[in-house]
Each structure stands twice: as C-alpha cells, then as structure tokens.
Amino acid sequence: MDHFTYKSGRLHAEDVALDAIAEAVGTPVYVYSSATLMRHFTVFNIALGDLDALVCFAVKANSNQAVIRTLAGLGAGADVVSGGELQRALKAGVPASKIVFSGVGKTEGEIRAALSAGIKQINVESVPELERISAIAEHMGVTAPVALRVNPDVDAGTHEKITTGRKENKFGIEWTDAHAVYRKAASLPGVKAQGLAVHIGSQLLDLKPFRDAYVRAGDLVAMLRADGLDVEVLDIGGGLGIPYGAEDETDAPTPQDYARVIRETVGNLGVQLVLEPGRMIAGNSGVLLTTVEYVKEGSTKTFAIVDAGMNDLIRPTLYSAYHHIVPVAEPAAGAPLTELDVVGPICETGDTFAKNRRMAPVRAGDLLVLRTAGAYGAVQASTYNTRALVPEVMVMGDAFAVVRPRQSVDDIIALDRLPHWLED
C-alpha cells in the first residue's frame, strides 16, 4: 500500500497534486510520501512483535536526511556502508548505539570514525579487516564491538548484481572458515566479538533462501556457544522484496510472512536480532515525476521521450528493472491503450525506462510517474552528460517541501579546476 492515488482525475502524493509539485519545482523530480514511509516501517516493526529486534534502515537505499530523520523519529536505527553514510545517519539524529557499519572495504579513517562515534557494531567481512580493526581500536584505547559476517553460500535467486550470499560473491567470510575466524576475533586485543551477521541479497520474493540462510546461521551460533564463545547479536540482514508492478511479477511476501520465518529459525536463540530493510521501507514511498518532451513515431515503434534519464534512475539500465509508469492525468475508464517505449534523452540506447509498454496514449507536455522509485533512485543518480542532479521533495499531508534542491549546471562545472598551464 502507498499514498499515491488519483483524486479528481489527478495523481496525488497524499493530499498534494503531483502536477502542482511539477509546476512549483519542475521536472524531473523525486517525490516521497511521509505517510507511506512511516507506514512501511511501522508495519515491518510490528510484524516482529515481541522479538528482541532492532530495525536498522539500510541508508544505501535512500540517504536523504529527511527520510532518515523521519525513520529515526519512529525508533529506527541505521545500517551504513561508508563513512559518508555514517555521517548522514548521525546528523539525521540516529543514535550511534543503533548504527551498524557493513561493507567489505572499510578504510582506516572510516573505522576510526565509527569507533569514535561509539556505534553499535562493525560487521567484519574479512580477516585483514578484523586485524585492522584490532590494531586501530588498541591504538585508540577503545574496544570495537564486531559481528562476523559469514557467507552462507545460499543462492538468493535474485538478480546476479544484487545477490551477496554465494561463495563466489565478495561479501562475508567463507562458511567453513567462520568458526576459526570467530575464535580469532574473540582473542584479539581491542575487539569484542559479540555476534554474527548474514545478508544474502536484495529484492527476494521467495522466503526459502532466507530460511536456508537463517538455519545455517542458527547452527553456527550453536557451534560457537558449544565452543565456549559468546554470541549476543545476530544481524540477519535485509533484502525482502517488494512488487514493482510487472504483470508477470509474483506477489511479494509480507513482513508478517517474513517474521514467521525468523521466529521459526532463529527466534529462540536468545540473541538480539538486527534487521536491515531498505527497499521494503523506502521503495513504494517514492516516485520519479517526469515530463514527456516528444512523441516520436518510428516505422516499428512509438517512443515517448521524457526529460528524466538513466542518470536520474539507473535501475532499468543496470538491472533490467521494471517500474510501473502511469500518467498524472487519470485516463478515462476503458480508454484504449497503445504500445510505447519510454526513453530518456541520454546519448545511450540503454537509456530506456520501458519497452513495448501498453499504456494510455501520451502527448508532449504530459506528466508521467515512474512508481516505486523511493529506493535506489536518487542515491544512484549521476551527472552523466553534464545533467544536473534532480531535486527531491517530501510530502506530509497537504504540505510539501524541497528536501534536496535542484543542482545547476554551473554547480557541476564549478567543481572542475584548470591546471595552471591552461589558465588565461
């Protein structure tokens, strides 16, 4: 469920007409619904019921300060994967005690920043990283709380670019080495080995891979405890999928379905569970609003050329991802459909949002919405073709605010520096 609905023939975000946002801010523009964001977090959190669980929003899904602060106000923690995301989470008001730092390539500076902030834990992905953390923590005179991220060698059955739990992926420590590495972590100076972490991928629409990974994680907890090692925390990652609107797409499992798997596999381990949902919380809370610039009639295809490009939303190009596309002006009931390719202005054939999409006919000047764009949309945007980053807008009821202003081309060019031999 989301809060993007037609009212009086115009698509609204909550109680704000999207064409009013387009008129005030211009297009392309990302629009987020506070009500949807809060609802999705609340439903996810409630599904966990009486489990000892901390929900840490995956900041990589949407790192806007307004989004993070909204969720922090509901009690969310943050899962971060860079020093920049750590700063964003802290600045948005997430308590350090609710921040988990993941990722395979943490620099010395990032580790120091995490330890200085006093975050909940660092998820360790390799032995060299573990040794680096130990040396830094000992030098700083602090104790680093760490969880060992293990690779359970479970195929998530999702897109190859977003699967993370197979042994050939770069993430985590080999399952067969995990016991020895955990024992090593428990013996190192400056380190507190407090738990395990496992994350097998993103956009999972089948719960079986979760079940398989969690059973393996539970077995490892039991083996470590049998060896006299403490395991207090189990970070079970994120990755629960959402429906993007494809006609052949299966229904996504609900948070309640997911919570049932958690209870049945790791609910009785006596550990604090950490979860890292991102897409599940933010995906349906945002849309990309764009204007049709031209309708081009080809010999075999009709193209709707819009002002948004793959630099603004790269998911269709990068992952062959589907986004439902609807007009802001509600089509009449029973209106005929036409077949279109919806494409952007970038000088790449890959700059395509939809191929052979059956939808209501469009004209130049029409506003279209790419739905389910609140996760991995604005955060993956670039300035390719010297196209300025688009603004982000947040809606609350009948009010809206620009939460990231539109960048200008002058802003982009001003970042360049000429070497002295090219200066006038």
Active site positions, annotated? 347
CA 128 to chain CA centroid, nearest Å: 27
Planar angle of CA 240, 245, 249, nearest 5 degrees: 65
- Which tokens in the block code for residue 352? 């395509």
Cα of first residue to Cα of last residue in the chain, in angstroms, is: 58
417 CB-contact burial (10 Å; exposed 0-12 / middle 13-18 / buried 19+):
exposed
Cα separation values, 162 from 107, 157, 201, 273, 282, Å: 23, 10, 6, 23, 17
The tokens 């995956």 sit on which residue? 58
Q: What are the phi and psi torsion angles at 354 (to 5°)?
A: -160, 140
- Which tokens in the block code for residue 63? 């790192």
Amino acid at 37: L
Compute the distance between CA of residue 317 and CA of residue 13 in angstroms, rounded to an integer: 26
The tokens 């060698």 sit on which residue? 153
Percentages helix, strand, coil for the chain (3-state, rounded to 5) are 35, 25, 40
Residue 192's Cβ-side half-sphere holds a number of Cα atoms within 13 Å equal to: 12
DSSP H/E element including 303? strand 302-306
